Amino acid sequence: MTAYYTGRFLGSILAGFIYSRMNKFLLFGISLLMFGVVVGAIPWCALYEVMITAHVVLGIFGGILAVAIYSESVLIWGPTGRGRSYLMLHGGISIIASVLAPIATGPFLTDRSDDIYNSSSIQHASANTSILYNVTILPNITSESPLIGTSFVNPDEQPSRLYIAYSISAGLCLLVALPFFRLFKFSKSNKMAFSSKERNKFIGSFSLFLKRLQLVNVGAYSLFHNAVDYTFTGYLSTFCVKYLLWTNMSGAMLTSTAFFTRLLGSLIGIFLVRVFKSDTLLLLSTSAYTLGLLGFTISAHVLSDVGIWISVCVIGIPFGLVWPNFLSWINASLIPVRGEVSSFINVTAFLGALLAPMLFGYMMEEFNLLWFCYLCVVKSIVNIINAFIILCYSRSMKR
């Protein structure tokens, strides 16, 4: 996962340079094609170094796709209430992929009775490719599921057929890429313009210094939110199994519940964005999932299983609201979300996703597993402050 997030980080930086200099249809087509090729090749990477390299390359093309999808989605639907509802729906569709990916992969895993490894972080791995509005689904791979053609194979077990799931995902990527190449050919023959090369300009009459400060605040919000988002769902099952002594199955079910409630939040958000403004809904949803994390921490202290389940539901619903509203506010009130801005948001997002697991892992290993809860709460409180600054900025701009 560290290799994959490193690739997403590098891909986001690269996309900032090439997005406005390249035909958008060709960009989508090549990125999807290469994404599919690497996905199909991963199960056959027998050497550890080759496997790491493959995940970095996969992350690079995933990062390029994420930047392009952000930019095009916001450009197509715009800052209107209807457009914000479409962004919510778009986010909900990507979460559906996160929920279905582990289920689709299940039939191809090796059956084992001695289930000694936790699969939650793997389930999260399959979800991450779609959670940030990606257009592909990666099957999940677990330590308990040996792969044919890799060094993970155990001769005492039946060989895994997981390569079939990866091949199906790769095939879907290639099929999705074909229409973009056709659109590229059409756009070239009709002399359609490349992706917009217009220079991004800040919105509003504030001084340039204040606008840049707010852009830094936006980057901080993106970094801390994704640090909590990815780490919470990635470590959730591990925490429950090791600290609360749950079974692996219960931990995996809790992780699935977290994704399902996030989907529910996105669907509810389709209607809420017509009632609340983006800045208001952003602050409310950030505060709500912070309260959920506080409840999760208290439940962990008193070893309340019921409290854990309730808290995860409370956390998941506002999580589904945050990101589309965050993008909508930036696009409507600060600066248009085009190539460079989309790249900046992705860079900060995946920087948080890359660095946070190292901090969480160290604190949980060296001190106490409860640091998983403490760090999530602290970072969420920081984001409440960031969201409040965003709200104040919007209100001052209107005045």
Q: Each residue of 387-396: pLDDT tens digit?
A: 999 999 988 8
Cα separation, 120 vs 138, whole angstroms: 15
| CA 110 to chain centroid | 28
* Pair of tokens at residue 370: 């409860």
DSSP letter for 86, please: H
Residue whose structure tokens are 């600054």? 389
Measured in Å, how far apart are the chain's first and last C-alpha atoms? 45
- In the chain, % helix, strand, coil (3-state, to 5) comes to 75, 0, 25
Cα separation, 267 vs 324, whole angstroms: 12
Let me know: does 66 contact 8? Beta carbons within 8 Å.
yes
- Residues 6 or more apart whose Cβ sits within 8 Å of residue 45: 51, 54, 150
DSSP letter for 47, please: S
* Pair of tokens at residue 292: 């959920």
Alpha-carbon Rg for the chain, nearest whole angstrom, is 21
DSSP letter for 42, please: G
The helix/strand count (H/E) of the chain reads as 12, 0
Q: Is 195 helix (H, G, I), strand (E, B) or coil?
A: coil
| CA 227 to chain centroid | 10
pLDDT digits (tens, 9 = 90+) for 40-78: 888 888 888 888 888 888 888 888 888 888 778 777 776
From 318, 334, 280, select the one nearest 74 (Cα to Cα). Answer: 334
Cα separation, 213 vs 210, whole angstroms: 5
216-219: long-range contacts (C-beta < 8 A, 24 or more apart)? 217/386, 217/389, 217/390, 217/393, 218/326, 218/330, 218/334, 218/345, 218/390, 219/344, 219/345, 219/348
Q: Is 158 helix (H, G, I), strand (E, B) or coil?
A: coil
Spans of the chain below 70 pLDDT: 78-161, 188-200, 399
Q: What are φ and ψ of residue 229, in 5° steps? A: -60, -60
pLDDT number for residue 376 = 92
Q: Is 39 helix (H, G, I), strand (E, B) or coil?
A: helix
pLDDT number for residue 81 = 63
pLDDT number for residue 204 = 80
pLDDT number for residue 80 = 64
pLDDT number for residue 381 = 95
Let me know: does 315 contact 293? Beta carbons within 8 Å.
yes
**What Å distances lie between residue 47 and 54, 117, 169, CA to CA?**
11, 22, 22
Please state which CATH class domain 2-186+200-398 belongs to. mainly alpha
Let me know: does 66 contact 134? Beta carbons within 8 Å.
yes
- Residues 6 or more apart whose Cβ sits within 8 Å of residue 12: 63, 64, 66, 67, 343, 346, 347, 349, 350
Cα separation, 41 vs 345, whole angstroms: 29
Cα separation, 327 vs 336, whole angstroms: 9
* Pair of tokens at residue 218: 């936006």
By the 10 Å C-beta count (0-12 exposed, 13-18 middle, 19+ buried), 2 is classed as middle
- Give the amino acid at 140: N
Let me know: does 1 contact 125? Beta carbons within 8 Å.
yes
